[in-house]
Amino acid sequence: MELLIDIAKVIIIAVAVLNLIPVLIWMERKGSAYIQDRRGPNRASILGIKLGGFIHNIADVFKLLFKEDIIPNKAHKIIYILAPMIVLGVAISIIAVIPFAAPVKIGEYVLKFQIADLNVGILYILAISSLSVYGILLAGWSSNNTYSLYGGVRASAQMISYEVAMGLALISVIIYMGSVRLDEMVTMQGANFWDWNFFRQPLACIIFLICLFAETNRNPFDIPEGESEIVAGYHLEYSSMKFAMFFMAEYAHIVAGSMIFVSLFLGGWQVPFLPASVLQGHLPLLLAVLMQATIFLVKVIFCCWLFIWVRWTLPRFRYDQLMYLGWAVMVPLALINIVITSILVSR
């Protein structure tokens, strides 16, 4: 029975994340259009139904499915094919430890709304998220293209600089919360705004958010695919569904990163001013779970919109500026925050 429940969790959560990807693409197109004072996609339709430009996403799927799949003659074919699978697989795997609602007790069984209830949830996230750079680096190397290789090398350098700052920012949160379990961190934040780590750990929150932009290779930190400098970077030689997998992986990373940020700093599934004990004590269990999952989704979509907003507002950093920000600014600030947090906790 437990095995069937685990399989159902994997399928439902993976499908939900994959279905959010076209929604984010639509938000990106329409959001960038409004920011730039233009209409955005509004032409494609099915029987006259346009859905506000959403039909363009369906058109893109068919275009990519039937586009010619080209593999360069001098590419390392096995690694070339595996690279986009690694990137997309890592992006989806990150969500395994994220709780979507409070646990529910049904008889003697406790149903937890997360795929894997690991006692090292934060460490799992750091370990898995760092693997995505291998897919990018291998894609750049296996393509046997100089520009692609530049993109891969840039990605590895960017990952190292921001993984360090991100890890140090999380250490402050771990010291303050006294746990590395993601479900416990969400529970301890409570339903009151001022108990969320957004207010309790503001510096760690800002550092983590900036590092998250770098981790997802989004503007202003999309150095690995800087079109004005290296054409398209690591995915320059990819076409058809292999390119689509890189494209999907970017948005899957945004969804996963938003889920992590919400869980760590915005109270996760906590409904503002309505603790889980109150919800489950006064409402049917199914309704309480739906409320928590809905508020979690609303927070995640807001963070995803923040990614889009920043991308179409700020220009791309130069490579040297990015490295300086990572090593000379973010890391020292994260270390200072650890010292301050340690002093406050020990008092």
Cα–Cα distance measured from residue 160 to residue 215, given in angstroms and rounded to the nearest whole number:
10
- Residue 51 Rama label (left phi>0; alpha psi -120 to 50; beta): left
In three-state secondary structure terms, 313 is coil
State residue 23's pLDDT score: 87
Helices (H), the chain: 2-35, 55-66, 77-93, 121-129, 132-142, 146-177, 182-189, 197-200, 202-215, 227-230, 240-265, 276-282, 285-311, 319-324, 331-346
- Residue 1 predicted with pLDDT over 70: no
pLDDT classification of 227: cutoffs 50, 70, 90? low
Most confident of the following: 63-72, 95-104, 130-139, 297-306: 297-306
Q: Is the pLDDT of residue 267 over 90?
A: no
- Provide φ and ψ at 106, rounded to 5°: -115, 100
Does residue 51 surpass a pLDDT of 70? yes
> What is the per-residue pLDDT for 9?
82
Q: Find out whether 242 and 81 touch, Cβ atoms under 8 Å.
A: yes
Q: CA geometry: angle at 18 spanning 258 and 81, to 5°? A: 105
d(CA 18, CA 8): 15
Q: What does each C-alpha distance from 36 to 29, 32, 72 come to in angstroms? A: 11, 6, 37
Tell me which of 68-77, 195-204, 335-344 is least confident: 68-77
Q: Coil, helix or strand for 82?
A: helix
Exposure string over 156-186, b if 16+ CB within 10 A, otherwise e: ebbbebbbbbbbbbbbbbbbbbebbbbbebb
Q: In a 3-state reduction of DSSP, which class is residue 4?
A: helix
Confidence of residue 265 (pLDDT cuts 50, 70, 90): very high
In the three-class reduction of DSSP (H, G, I as helix; E, B as strand; rest coil), residue 110 is classed as: strand
Q: Compute CA 81 distance to the chain's CA centroid, rounded to the nearest angstrom.
A: 23
Query: Rounded mean pLDDT of 268-278?
Result: 82
- Predicted TM-score of the model (pTM): 0.90
134-186: per-residue pLDDT in tens? 888 888 888 888 888 888 888 888 777 888 888 899 999 999 888 888 888 88
The Cα angle at residue 69 between residues 140 and 21, in degrees rounded to 5: 75
Phi, psi (degrees; rounded to nearest 5) at 314: -105, 145
- Distance (Å, rounded) from C-alpha 24 to C-alpha 86? 21
Q: b or e along 191-212 (b: 16 or more beta carbons within 10 Å of the residue's beta carbon)? A: beeeebbbebbeebbbbbbbbb
Widest pairwise Cα distance in the chain: 67
For residue 321, what pLDDT is reported? Answer: 84
| pLDDT, mean over the chain | 84
φ, ψ (nearest 5 deg) of residue 221:
-120, 35
Please write the tens of the pLDDT for every residue from 6-31.
Answer: 788 888 888 888 888 888 888 888 88
For residue 104, the 8-state DSSP code is E
Higher pLDDT, 147 or 347: 147
C-alpha to C-alpha distance for 296 and 309, rounded to whole angstroms:
20
Give residues with Cβ within 8 angstroms of 250, minimum separation 6: 216, 217, 218
Q: Judge whether residue 231 has pLDDT over 90.
A: no
